[in-house]
Amino acid sequence: MARSYVAEAKRRGLGRRQERIGPIVERLAAEHSDAQIALRFRSDLELLVSVMLSAQTTDTNVNRVTEALFRKYRRPEDYLAVPEEELERDIYTTGFFRQKTKAIRGTMRMLLEEFDGEVPRRLEDLVRLPGVARKTANVVASELGHAQGIVVDTHVRRLSQRLGLTRHDDPVKIERDLQRVVPRADWARFPHLLIWHGRRVCDARRPACEDCVLEDLCPASRLAEPLRSSGASGRARAGRSSRRE
């Protein structure tokens, strides 16, 4: 069970989650104005396939594979027209290629049979697709402009816990907590902001609290509390540019 910083936020007098969420979103949006999905795609179908392939591998690796894959497979029918072993070879380097191949082919079959070959927008339809769990469905729906939940990946889980926005470790429970405090208009971009902040500043092992724009709002800050009252957060903002990629 992850350590809960919800009580720590209260002890440090940082305010309630509902009071802190506005400044958190605002500061992260200013700090990471380029935060967006790292996967490359040109259509709804390519988005869906990219997200399905991204499980247990890096976005960079997926983009490397899909550069050739999407030239070969353009429609749902294309994924079903080749032998299963051929598709396995084409996505081999993404890992778990057999499971992913079965999921992709099953999804393409369902898209053709039930959705006229189009990627559905509703979360309840997306999660019915083979191999599409809630996280994948949330990513796809959000990127298509129909966010119906909040994506919870490892970065979102870690930062939500450290910021005292949740006391849970289960992604479903974390999402529910975030939905209660994050304005619905920010559901799509909020995960991107946390993901990029997690990559650039709030590292899992060595968070750079001294460079963090959220230091004075974060109950997990490693800076000494006396420094907090003497302007540490100002120095953090001044030094944050050194962390930008």
Q: How many domains does the chain have?
A: 2
Question: What tens digit of pLDDT does each residue of 124-181 get?
Answer: 999 999 999 999 999 999 999 999 999 999 999 999 999 999 999 999 999 999 999 9
Nearest in space to 165 (alpha carbons), one of 185, 147, 150:
150
Answer yes or no: is pLDDT of 238 > 50. no
Clarify whether residues 163 and 236 are in a common domain.
yes
Handedness of CA 222, 14, 215, 194 (dihedral sign): positive
Domain encompassing residue 168: 6-31+151-243
Mean pLDDT of the region 121-125: 97
**Among 100, 135, 186, 216, which one carries the catalytic annotation?**
135
Q: Determine contact, residues 27/214, Cβ cutoff 8 Å.
A: yes
Percentage of the chain exceeding pLDDT 90: 88
Nearest in space to 100 (alpha carbons), one of 55, 40, 64, 152:
55
Question: What tens digit of pLDDT does each residue of 70-93 get?
Answer: 999 999 999 999 999 999 999 999
The span from the CA of 202 to the CA of 155, in Å, is 9
Domain boundary, last residue among 111, 143, 175: 143
- Assess if residue 36 is contained within a domain: no
Clarify whether residues 121 and 174 are in a common domain.
no
Handedness of CA 22, 23, 25, 29 (dihedral sign): positive
Catalytic residue list contains 153: yes
**Among 44, 59, 78, 153, which one carries the catalytic annotation?**
153
- This prediction has a pTM of 0.87
CATH of the domain at 205: 1.10.1670.10
Output the pLDDT for position 216.
Answer: 96
Classify residue 33 by burial, with Cβ atoms within 10 Å: 0-12, 13-18, 19+.
exposed
- Assess if residue 39 is contained within a domain: no
